[in-house]
Structure 1
Amino acid sequence: MSSAPDPPAFKNQSFNEKDFRDPGLRGVRTTNLFRAVNPELFIKPNKPVMAFGLITLSLCVAYIGYLHATQENKKDLCEAIDSEGHSYMRRKTSKWD
């Protein structure tokens, strides 16, 4: 009788402490092109730069909101001329009011 072949022997892989120092993709071997195209995967987060970017983005959104709010307020104004020929700004009124 022939016996079943022995399963292939697994190589004993020794994991060094060095292999576990860099979590995530920083420890993986990749090409320089991949690192150049995807730098956010390999660069450590920089908290001061993150805070500056968050504050800047928030101020930009607030400024756009301010411009939108003032645009709506100006939309209802029109230039009117009184009987003496002086021009002034007043709110639009409907003929039906």
Structure 2
Amino acid sequence: MSENKAKGPHQPGEGIRSMRSTSVFRLINFELYTKPNTIIMGIGLAAITGVFGYIAYMRYKYESLGYYVAIKEDGQEQFVKKKSNWE
């Protein structure tokens, strides 16, 4: 127990790095051996937020124009313009 305290604070990924592994394992699972990149993670988060926001905007736009989601006989969804029964 005293040996663990003497080594100091643990670093992320230290456990898997200290294990013996093959180069193929390291090539396939490179995420286990690299540090997290917060800049790339932030760019990815902004991109996925933008995509979901755009999808929500387009759905709102079509619904406000009088369209609704109709399911065809084969199970495919399609936006269809609302029609009055009087037309």
- TM-score by length of structure 2 reads 0.57
Q: Distance between the aligned counterparts of 2:34 and 2:56, measured in 1?
A: 33
Distance 1:24 1:60 in 2: 36
Q: Which amino acid aligns with 1:63?
A: Y
Match of 1:43, as an amino acid? Answer: T
Q: Deviations over 1:64-95 (max 9, x none)?
A: 1111111222317xxxxxxxxxxxxxx85443
Q: Which runs of 5+ in 2 are unaligned?
A: 69-81
Which one has the bigger helix percentage? 2
Alignment partner, residue 20 of structure 2: 29
Which runs of 4 or more aligned residues in structure 1 lie more than 2 Å from their structure 2 counterparts after TM superposition? Answer: 91-95
Considering only aligned residues, what root-mean-square deviation do their CA atoms show, in Å?
2.8
State which structure, 1 or 2, has the greater radius of gyration over its C-alpha atoms: 1
Matched, 1:45 2:36: yes
Of structures 1 and 2, the one with the larger relative CO (CA 8 A, separation 6+) is: 2
Name the TM-score, length of structure 1 as normaliser.
0.52
Residues 1-97 of structure 1: pairs in structure 2 closer than 5 A: 23-74=14-65, 75=67, 92-95=83-86
> Alignment identity in percent?
31
- Kindly provide the CA deviation profile for residues 31-84 of structure 1, in whole angstroms up to 9, marking residues without a partner as x: 1111111111111101111111111111111111111111222317xxxxxxxx
Matched length: 65
